[in-house]
Each structure stands twice: as structure tokens, then as C-alpha cells.
Chain A
Amino acid sequence: MDTRLEKIVQVLQEKTGATFEEFRDEVHVFVDAEKIVDVLTFLRYEHDFALLSAMTAVDYWPKEDPRFHVIYQLTSLTQNLSLQLRVPVNGSQPKVPTATGVFDVANWREREIMDMFGIEFEGHPDPRRILMPQDWDGHPLRKDYPLGYEEPQFTFNFEEIDLRKPYVKE
């Protein structure tokens, strides 16, 4: 890990008790949902991470709990560093405070996550769907949302596939 990044991660650990992972020189810091706005503000203004490069989410249903991870990919132009923040979010009532106060780009990115994953961003100024039609049911990128075609069933896997069919859950 880059020494400058190491220092930042250390500060984050002391301040918020965050844990981190490293894979192929990328650092992922796990932050609690309540602290995310403070952490983003801290990184944006104290360490010059001026660009929120990407923001997305991942659904780990049904294997893991908490179900979602909301991901913030931050870039510092002046130091040429990248840092990824991951916020685990509960599946039953997924809620994260909005980051629109820190980064304007979070407005559309959060609308996209809201639309695709059904994660609510508290305090969002414009909570409408962005890609799907406004009257759409469901959140397409969730893992329990069917892709739109039926898997062929054979005698050896009939029941296994039957369990995954959307009508079973209704």
C-alpha cells in the first residue's frame, strides 16, 4: 500500500473504527452507514479527494448479511490516489444518508442506486427513479429480480430451478 494512503487509512481506523481490505493494490475501507457523510467530508476537504469517480452497490442476497454494499470510489487528483469506501447495508430496510451535500455527482448516482437496488438515501433532494420508468415495480439489479428468461428445467434439476422462479416467492 502507498505510504500516503496508509496514513489516511490509519486515521480513518482511529476515527471510526473502520476495517480495511487490500486486493491488487486497491484499498477498500469498510465504513458504517451513519458515519459515511463525515468520512466523505473528511476525505474531500482534509485529504483532497475531490472526485467521486464512481458510486455503485452490490447485492449479496441470499448468502451474506448485511445484504448490500454501497461503494464509493474516491480519487484524489493532486496526490494521484484512489480509495474505495464500502458501506454494508441491511436488507430489510436499506437506508444510507445522502452524500449530495459533499459531492454533487452523488445526486444522480444515488438515484441510480435507488432505482436499481431499492436502497433509500435519506435526505436526497430528488428521489425519483432515473433509468427505469417512474411506475416500475421492483429493482432490477437485485439478485432476486429475474433476468427475464426462463431457465430450462430437466428431471435432475427441476426442483432446484423451480425454487428460483419468481412465482414461487409470491
Chain B
Amino acid sequence: MSEYQLQEIPVGPYKHLVSERAISGETMILNMGPQHPSTHGVLRLVLELDGEVIVNCIPEIGYLHTGVEKNMEAKTYLKAEVMTDRLDYMNNMGNNLAYVMAVEKLVGLDVPERAQSLRVILTELQRIASHLVWLGTTALDLAAMSVFLYCFREREIILDIFELVSGQRMMVTYFRPGGVWRDVPVEFESAVRNFIKIFPKRIDEYEALLTKNPLWLDRTVGIGKLDAATALQHGVTGPTLRASGVNWDLRKARPYAGYDQYDFNVPIETKGDTYARYLVRVQELRESLKIVEQALNKLPIGPVRSENRKFVPPPRSELGTSMEALIHHFKLWTEGFPAPKASIYSAVESPRGELGVYLEGDGGPKPYRVHWRTPSFDNLSVLPKIVKGHLVADLVAILASIDIVLGDIDR
């Protein structure tokens, strides 16, 4: 007999979460993850199974906990921004935006028009990139390999645009309090126009592969139904909520960064199953592209950073000639700028839902408390409710359809 046997995990710590049949040994407790390819990161699921049917599901998170909130308390407002890229690594621009908007709200800083438009273009491109990764990996989980390759091909174009503007493909830190890091290079417009030209056809290709594919329909229609009331009780936001028929999008409800100037729809589906969540995200790809095109068409000319030197470093060209510029530069990068002793909550619509930042200052140059209200955390908490009674193979589809990012959950 081999010494490596399949082992059931002890029921002890989960006694209050499993059914009585697990304690008598009638059902099986099985471990899934934390290194399972279909859990989209280091997520561990403890499953109670009756044959192949899920009786209970207990998510165990924290394997990617990096203490970002604690670390940010020890850094100045400017330096802490670098950590925000690492939270939700599929939505780096969006995290930057959430953070800089919180800082701007706390200290009362203005942002020039051009910077606002650039922020909209780049966060919408980021939303497309994030949804592409979601679409690719979800299709991969459901054994449609080719979609994954096509999605990553298009995502590459977006990452190249990010590299063009910030020098980095993923950890961009491009938005800064009071504007953006520096103006975009001249190649930016043609690069984005090129993407706008080719991408609609590519969405049609994905849809041709999936939307009416009988295998895809078999795996997604009616799987993992989530009704609106349960979703709201669990704080679910973003496309997952909109697929359950709730019209709530912070870009429409509380427009920020000039979203009220653009004409776009918020896709809604009412079924609340895995297929509805797929449809919402695919339609969002088209809507985001519409916003990018409109913003690019009326991209204003002008400064990209606020002129308020107490919060925004002066341009490099002034350092050699202006004493004040040198002093401001020195003060900002050594001591940082002070923020009032007050707290604010500011939220943006990330590809996964409401990404909120609770930011509290204490009058000094470092944040007193930063809390990240991350959408994946709340979205995952609804999983145990919607997987009950489904097969293990469907769990993979449901988990993929709520689009979690573990860096976003564990922070």
C-alpha cells in the first residue's frame, strides 16, 4: 500500500459550517486549492460533497495577505501609491485612480481637464484588459482553449499602450495626486486609435466562438443563479450585480473624473446566472470602447498636473532655474505633504465592482488609516450560497464567473 493516500481533511474547525452528515462521515470533506489552476489564484475552498454534488462550500482566504493597509500607514501619501498597483493586479490603473481620488478629496486638490480625460481613457482600457483576462481564463476553465489565446493577444496591445505612457506594463503608478505622472507621448493617440479600429471585430470573434456555442450554453445557462436580494445582502457589486438585474454603476450614479460627459450604456441582464454575467461583461467591452473613443476625440490640450505646488512636484525643467521649485521638490519627496485630520470615503467602479478607499489623515504627511473596500472580497462571500446543489465542475464555472482576483481579496 502506498503511503500517499487520498486523505479527507479533519472536520473539526468547520463543525459549525458543515451539515450533520459530514460529522457522521456520510458526506466527504474535500480540499480544493490553494494551488488549483481554476481558483484564479491562491484561494482554498473546503468542499462538503455528497458524491459529486456540493453540500457546503467554505472559502479560506488570506494566502496572499501582504498587509498593504498597514504598510501604507508608514509611507507618505505619494510613496504609498506604489502599493496600490499590487492590490488588484488586473486593474492597476483603476486602483491608482481610486487612491489618487481619495487623496485629492482629502486634501481638496484640483485636477486639470486633460488629466481627467487621460484617466478615463486609461481606466477604460484597463477595464477592457481585465475583462479580456476574465473571458480568457473563464473559457479556459470551461475547456475552450482558443478564446484564451485570442484574448491575451488583444490584452497585449493594451499593455503596450500602458508601457508607452508609463514605462511599465502592469505596475504603472501613472496617476498621481493632482493629475498624471507626465503627458502622454505623441504615439499615444495613434496607438489607441489602432486599438479602437481593430477591437470591435475581435469582440465579434469572441462572441462567434461562445455566445451561441451549445457547449458553452450547457455549461453556463442556469448555473449559479444569484438573485438581486441575495446579491445586495452580500454587498455584491459590479457586473456580477448588474447580471442580477440591479442597475447600479458608480460611473453613472455618482460620476467622477468626468464620466458624465460621455455617452454610454450600463448593460443589465436579469437572469443572474453564469451566462448572464458573461453577457454583461462582453457588452461592457463594447461600452468601454465607446467611452475610450469619445474621450480620445475630445481630449483637451493643456496641463496634465495641478499647479498647486504644495501637493504636486514642479516640472523637471524648473528645477535648474527656480529656487521655489527646488524647495517644493525637496519638501515633497522628503517630508511629503500634510493632509487634514479628517476622514473620507471615495469609491470608483472597478472592473469587479465598487472599489472604495477609506482614507484618514492626522494632520501629518502619512495616512493614519487606509482601508480598501475591495469588490472581490464581498463578491466571493456570496459563493457558498450560489454553489449549493451544483456539481464540482460547475463550481469552477461559477467561481470564474464572479471574477475574483486574490490580490484584491487578501490585500
Q: Measuring CB to CB, which residues of chain A are less than 8 angstroms from any residue of chain B? A: 23-24, 26, 28, 50-54, 56, 58-59, 71, 73, 77, 80, 82, 84, 103-105, 107-109, 116, 125-126, 128-134, 140-141, 145, 147
Q: Is the CB of B368 within 8 A of A82?
A: no
- Residues of the A chain whose Cβ atoms lie less than 8 Å from the Cβ of B381: 104-105, 107-108
Question: What is the interface residue range for chain B against chain A?
Answer: 35 or more
A–B complex contacts, Cβ < 8 Å, 8 sampled: A24-B108, A71-B358, A73-B373, A108-B377, A126-B17, A128-B13, A131-B411, A140-B67
Which stretch in B34-42, B147-155, B267-275, B342-350 binds the other chain? B342-350
Q: Measuring CB to CB, which residues of chain B are less than 8 angstroms from any residue of chain A? A: 13, 16-17, 61-62, 65, 67, 69-71, 73-74, 105-106, 108, 230, 232-235, 237, 246, 248, 253-254, 342-345, 347, 354, 356, 358, 360, 368-369, 371, 373, 377-378, 381-382, 410-411
Q: Is the CB of A105 within 8 A of B378?
A: yes
Question: In whole angstroms, what is the CA distance A166 to B339 when docked?
Answer: 28
A-B contact count (CB 8 A): 94
Question: In whole angstroms, what is the CA distance A49 to B13 when docked?
Answer: 34
Q: Is the CB of A54 within 8 A of B371?
A: yes
A53-B356, A134-B13 known; A147 and B234 CB under 8 Å?
no
Give the distance to chain B from A110, nearest Cβ to Cβ, in Å.
11
Q: Which of A24, A50, A104 contacts B344 (CB 8 A)?
A: A24
A73-B356, A147-B71 known; A53 and B235 CB under 8 Å?
yes
- Residues of the B chain whose Cβ atoms lie less than 8 Å from the Cβ of A125: 16
- Residues of the A chain whose Cβ atoms lie less than 8 Å from the Cβ of B371: 54, 56, 71
Question: In whole angstroms, what is the CA distance A104 to B379 when docked?
Answer: 12
- Residues of the B chain whose Cβ atoms lie less than 8 Å from the Cβ of A133: 62
Q: Is the CB of B254 within 8 A of A51?
A: no
Give the distance to chain B from A80, nearest Cβ to Cβ, in Å.
6
Closest to A78 in B: B248
Question: In whole angstroms, what is the CA distance A80 to B106 when docked?
Answer: 21
Q: Which of A23, A50, A109, A131 contacts B410 (CB 8 A)?
A: A131
- Residues of the A chain whose Cβ atoms lie less than 8 Å from the Cβ of B369: 58-59
Q: Is the CB of B253 within 8 A of A84?
A: no
- Residues of the B chain whose Cβ atoms lie less than 8 Å from the Cβ of A23: 342-344
